[in-house]
Amino acid sequence: MSDYKEKNSASSAKSRFRKKQNEDHQRAKHWAREWLDAFIFAAIAAIILRMFFFGAYRIPTPSMEQTLLTGDFLLVSKMAYGARTPMTVSIPFTDVYVPGMDLPWTRLPGFMDVERNDIIVFNYPIDTGPVSAKTNYIKRAVGMPGDELEIRDKRVHVNGQVEDGFETLMQHYRVVSRERIRLSPSKVRDAGARIVQSGGNNNYIINMTEETARQMEGWNEVDSVEPFVLPEDYKQFERRNFNFSRGFSNHDNIPAFRVPYKGKEVELSSDNWHLYQDIVERYERNSVQKDGDEFIINGEVTNQYVVQMDYYFTMGDNRDDSEDSRYWGFVPENHLIGKASIIYFSWDGERWMPRFRRMLNMIHD
């Protein structure tokens, strides 16, 4: 009898052990499924937020100083102008996409239009590849569709009026120090300026804001401060064929032109093809053959072309250290990503520490 009881007790213990094992296994499976579900939900939510609501971007260059500094991390509102639906088949959170698989896309309704002087993020127009896979750029929208722009001695004229200045706008100034007195680089740096070039005869080229230039005029060691402007006959080296006129000289002096807009009818000629070639061929994807002043567009002989999109003219706030629309032309509407809204973090690479005063600052146009 005792042997039977012992065997029964052992069998019962094994049964309880197996039951406990099964319960532990089920709890583990349930726990793993909950975490997997949470991870999938979080990933989907992050993809949706990044695709349709906000994007995070880092400022890698000084082209927008002093408004935005190298090392600033931004949140960009894609909702402002309307988010784009996916344009390519790609791996989320990466720049990897499937070549040749462009998707039909649309821009969702936004709650505002681009306004003059908005700080916008867009895809670099002259990059190759699908629009959404191009490099991200950030600049100020200086010219709206239909605006007439002209740059004279560095001053931007919009529809006949000199543009409103910005406290943070920077450019090169020629500074002459008093005879046999040299400027202190550390004093210039502490004033928020940077010596770009130091020449003979006490001449300096210094990059700074207008306010800093006025302050520098009062320094005892300074004789004069004036904007450094390239002469109109100075021929600036061009890295590509784009320019704003056949008689183009340099980016401090650009003759009047009108920013293209949707519905604008253009009569193409050899005299203006340099201005419209990228628009007709690259951005609006037409096949063009040109023989002198004769154009064959998509197989049809015609000199008339109707622009299909709105375009924008952009510039960096660090005017003499910014590669922008002065160099490569207009930003097509379908390249717009969003509006810069907030600096959520900032890292000073020279001092190797965060810029705490810039964190969570709203970006004002």
Considering only CA atoms, give the Rg of the chain: 30
Give burial (CB, 10 Å; 0-12/13-18/19+) of 77: buried
Is the pLDDT at 181 greater than 80? The verdict is yes
Is the pLDDT at 22 greater than 70? The verdict is no
Give burial (CB, 10 Å; 0-12/13-18/19+) of 52: middle
Cβ-based neighbours of 349, under 8 Å, separated by 6 or more: 70, 71
Q: Phi and psi dihedrals of 211, rounded to 5?
A: -65, -45
Is the pLDDT at 19 greater than 70? The verdict is no
Supply the pLDDT for residue 37. 61
| CA gap 29, 299 in Å, rounded | 64
Structure tokens at 102: 């462009």
278 DSSP 8-state letter: I
State mean pLDDT over 315-341: 94
Task: Say which CATH architecture domain 53-147+312-365 belongs to.
Answer: Ribbon (2.10)
Cβ-based neighbour number of residue 138 at 10 Å: 25
Cβ-based neighbours of 146, under 8 Å, separated by 6 or more: 258, 259, 261, 264
Is the pLDDT at 56 greater than 90? The verdict is no
The pLDDT tens digits of the residues spanning 195-232 come to: 999 877 789 999 999 999 999 999 999 999 999 998 87
CB 292 within 8 A of CB 303: no
Supply the pLDDT for residue 351. 87
CATH number for the domain formed by residue range(s) 170-227: 3.30.70.80
- % of the chain residues with pLDDT over 70: 81
Question: Using 50, 70 and 90 to split pLDDT, how confident is the model at 41?
Answer: low
Q: Phi and psi dihedrals of 305, rounded to 5?
A: -140, 135
State mean pLDDT over 139-151: 96
37 DSSP 8-state letter: H
The pLDDT tens digits of the residues spanning 68-115 come to: 999 999 999 999 999 999 888 777 766 777 777 788 989 999 899 999
Is the pLDDT at 32 greater than 70? The verdict is no
Question: Using 50, 70 and 90 to split pLDDT, how confident is the model at 358?
Answer: very high
Q: In this structure, what is the dihedral angle of CA atoms 140, 144, 147, 148, given to the nearest 10 degrees?
A: 30
CB 324 within 8 A of CB 344: no
State mean pLDDT over 300-323: 95
Structure tokens at 328: 């490569």
| CA gap 103, 90 in Å, rounded | 11
> What is the widest separation between alpha-carbon atoms in the chain?
120
Residue spans per domain, the chain:
1-52, 53-147+312-365, 170-227
